[in-house]
Every structure is written in structure tokens, then in C-alpha cells.
Amino acid sequence: MLNTILITPLAGLEPAYFQLRYSCLEDKAGTGTRRNIMKNCVCCEKPTSNPKFCNRKCAAIFNNSSKNGRKIGRQRIKVLCDVCGAPVKENRRKYCSECSGNLIKTATGYKHIGKATKADVLTNDTQRYARIRLNARRIAKRRGILNECSICGYSLYVECAHKKSIASYPDDALISIINSRKNLAGLCRNHHWEFDHNLISLNG
């Protein structure tokens, strides 16, 4: 009686588990089911049961193939810049070369200098304005401000100076204003020391 109770529901209902098991057995038997559908290799056109290539060699040949200096196999995935949407040349980067120079590190991650404020980038160590100065040197170098000293023309070693000091700006000032081109100047070490001690002034 117990055997009848256990067997009868299984035989009458035929759950999906048993249907799947039966289909797997039919696949192994070679009855022409979905698993045994043969396709031609994309590279060598030999019949294969794999989705696209018959082996790794054909996959490497096809994906790395080129014609007239241009890759015609597997195309590189286009990555767009998170800030401006322009295509990024290196896939591992999130920003293009133009926007990467205008980014500054904050407590919550990287922000564009047009959106980050002075309070966002302050650090708790002795160099509170280290991130602002680092971004200023990057901008000045890219725009040719550090090619020579703006006073004496010395070019072997030029430092980046702020015409209006960073401390004089309020905490809600944007980094794009603090590190604007008009507020940056290239000075040699001697003139930079004199400027910091109010011995000389920079016009403009």
C-alpha cells in the first residue's frame, strides 16, 4: 500500500525534474536533440558542437585577425568617459585624457574641479592643501605655465605658485576657481620664496 502511494503520484504527475532527466538521456543517445546540433566553425568552417569555434586556436586566430592594419576580429569594447561621454582609448580607465587632468580626489571619490569645493578636498594631515597643489601643478604643466619662471625666465626648475593664496578662499570656493589659469604662475625657487614672504608681487 505504501509503494502504491509513493509510485502513483510520480507516475501520474511526471514532474519537470523527470522530464529534464529523460531529455538528458535522449541527448546522450544521439537522437538529434538540441545538444547535438552541429555548426560550422567561424574560423575554419569545420563542423563543431561548440557555439562558435571548434577549439581555442581558431578562437585566437579569429579574434586577433586584422586586414589593412585594422582589426576585423573581435572588436574592442568602447568605453565612454564618465564625465563628458567621449570615447576612452584605454579600456581600463573611466575617464578620457582631457577629463582625467580636471579630476581631484575627495573624501567620497574623484570629482570634477568644476563641482568640487575647497572643503571637499581638505585633508587632516599637516599638508591640508596637498590635493589642491597637486592639481594646480598638473594644470600648470599641461598649459605650459611651468616652462619658465615668469620673472627671471629660469627654466631648469620651476614651481607652481598661486597668485591669491589658497587660504584666502572660503571653504565653498570651487577648485576650478582656485586653480584657474589666471591664478597660477610659474616661479623659480628663489622668486617663489620671495613671493611667499611678500617681498615681490605678481601683477594680474
Task: Flag whether 144 is in a domain.
Answer: yes
Same domain, 119 and 67: no
Same domain, 125 and 177: yes
Q: What is the pLDDT of residue 44?
A: 87
Task: Flag whether 204 is in a domain.
Answer: no
- Which backbone phi and psi does 56 adopt, to 5 degrees? -70, -30
- Which pTM value belongs to this model? 0.56
Which residues in 25-180 belong to E strands, given as ranges?
39-40, 47-48, 66-67, 70-71, 79-80, 87-88, 103-106, 109-112, 159-162
Same domain, 172 and 117: yes
Same domain, 116 and 187: yes
By CB neighbour count within 10 A (0-12 exposed, 13-18 middle, 19+ buried), where does 48 fall? middle
* pLDDT in single tens digits along all 204 residues of the chain: 444 444 444 444 444 444 444 444 444 445 444 556 788 888 888 898 888 889 988 888 887 776 665 666 565 677 888 777 788 876 667 777 777 778 888 888 888 888 889 999 888 877 889 999 999 999 999 899 999 999 999 999 999 999 999 999 999 999 999 999 999 999 999 999 999 999 998 875
Q: Is 196 helix (H, G, I), strand (E, B) or coil?
A: helix
Task: Flag whether 81 is in a domain.
Answer: no
Task: Flag whether 16 is in a domain.
Answer: no
Task: Flag whether 56 is in a domain.
Answer: yes
Q: What is the pLDDT of residue 68?
A: 63
Q: Which domain holds residue 60?
A: 43-75
Task: Flag whether 47 is in a domain.
Answer: yes
Number of structural domains (the chain) is: 2
Task: Flag whether 83 is in a domain.
Answer: no
Task: Flag whether 60 is in a domain.
Answer: yes
Same domain, 185 and 125: yes
Same domain, 124 and 66: no
